[in-house]
Amino acid sequence: MSVIDILTRVDVICKKYEKYDVDKLNADNVSGDDAFARLYASVDSDIESALQKAEAASSEKNRAAVVALNAEIRRTKARLLEEIPKLQRLAVKKVKGLSKEELATRSDLVSALPDRIQSIPDGSSTGAKTGGWTASGSRTGIRFDTTSDGRFDSEYFQQTEESNQFRQEYEMRKMKQDQGLDVISEGLDTLKNMAHDMNEELDRQVPLMDEIDSKVDKATSDLKHTNVRLKQTVTQLRSSRNFCIDIILLCIILGIAAYLYNVLKK
């Protein structure tokens, strides 16, 4: 027989003998008669809706809407916390058709409710924004092994000396690794701070550089103009005509001087 056949057969048998299923009948009746179950169901649905609102609040951009949602969540939480004593009283009451175990589980459920209600994020514990906390939480909680240590059941696991040693070495190495990572993280923090400061310093110097740029441009253009004017003046002064006249006059003077020198020598 294949699995599918087995399943269909089981379904048919279950349907046939449904009327003998006490638990199911009880469940159908219970939701009608049992006040505890009704109240519990309503509290449960309130918690669910509050959680949904909390999710909406965390993804909402409009801060006013976030504040309003958080206020609503807080109101719901307070109301639910008030209902818990009622639930506890109902849980202890004996209802026909319920076993003793069920009663115990009911009181457990009720005691678990306050924790569930408190854990609904309403923005008051983390200062109206949970972004920072979750980020820090994930940063400090890096885990490399998925199993939590020490959950080894003594029935299924017997420790030999070797495995003990191995575990110790593993712990030591993990500690050393953690220390090394701490050192690295400190160094990175310092680097980050320095980088930020450098960034700001550069931002500060950008307008100064612009000023320098424009001033130097002005200075170079002034210099160019001056150079051109200087060139014009110098060429005027040293034009070839004046130059030749200077040389000729100089030769004449030298000639006269030489003539006089000769005359005087004689």
Partner 1 sequence: MTTQDPGKLMAKADKLTKLSFTRWNADWKNATALYEQAAVGYRFKKENEKAKEAFEKASKGQEMISSPWDAAKHMESAASLAKELGHWNEVSDFYRKASELYRECGRSQPASDALGKGASALEDTNPDEAVRLYIDACEILEEDGKEQMAFDLYRAATSTYVKLERYTDAATLLLRWGVAADKCNAVNSQCKAYLSAIIIYLYMHDFQQAQKCYNDCSQVGAFLSSDQGRCARKLLSAYEEGDIEEIKRLAQPSPITHLDHVIIKLARKLPTGDLKELEKEEDKETLDENDLT
Query: Is residue 92 within 8 Å of residue 107, measured between CB atoms?
Result: yes
The answer to whether residue 204 forms part of the interface with partner 1 (CB under 8 A) is yes
Query: Is residue 122 within 8 Å of residue 74, measured between CB atoms?
Result: yes
Nearer to partner 1, 125 or 242 (CB): 125
The answer to whether residue 196 forms part of the interface with partner 1 (CB under 8 A) is yes
- Please report how close the Cβ of residue 178 comes to partner 1 at its closest, in angstroms: 15
Nearest CA to 171 out of 209, 139, 151, 144 is that of 144
State whether residue 197 is helix, strand or coil: helix
User: Which tokens belong to 182?
Assistant: 């701490």
Q: Which of the 8 DSSP states describes residue 148?
A: P
- Residue from 129, 174, 176, 229 that binds partner 1 (CB under 8 A)? 129
- Binding map of partner 1 across residues 131-170, x = CB under 8 A, - = no contact: xxx-xx----------------------------------
Distance between CA atoms of 211 and 216, rounded to whole angstroms? 9
Q: Which of the 8 DSSP states describes residue 20?
A: G
- The piece of 8-16, 145-153, 200-208, 232-240 that touches partner 1 (CB under 8 A) is 200-208
The answer to whether residue 186 forms part of the interface with partner 1 (CB under 8 A) is yes
Distance between CA atoms of 142 and 113, rounded to whole angstroms? 30
Residues 6+ away with beta carbon under 8 Å from 206: none
Nearer to partner 1, 155 or 211 (CB): 211
User: Which tokens belong to 188?
Assistant: 């990175």
Residues numbered 76-95 forming contacts with partner 1, rule: CB under 8 A: 78
- The piece of 84-92, 108-116, 130-138, 243-251 that touches partner 1 (CB under 8 A) is 130-138
The answer to whether residue 65 forms part of the interface with partner 1 (CB under 8 A) is no
Residues near partner 1 (CB under 8 A) are 74-75, 78, 124, 127-129, 131-133, 135-136, 186, 189-190, 193, 196-197, 199-200, 203-204, 207
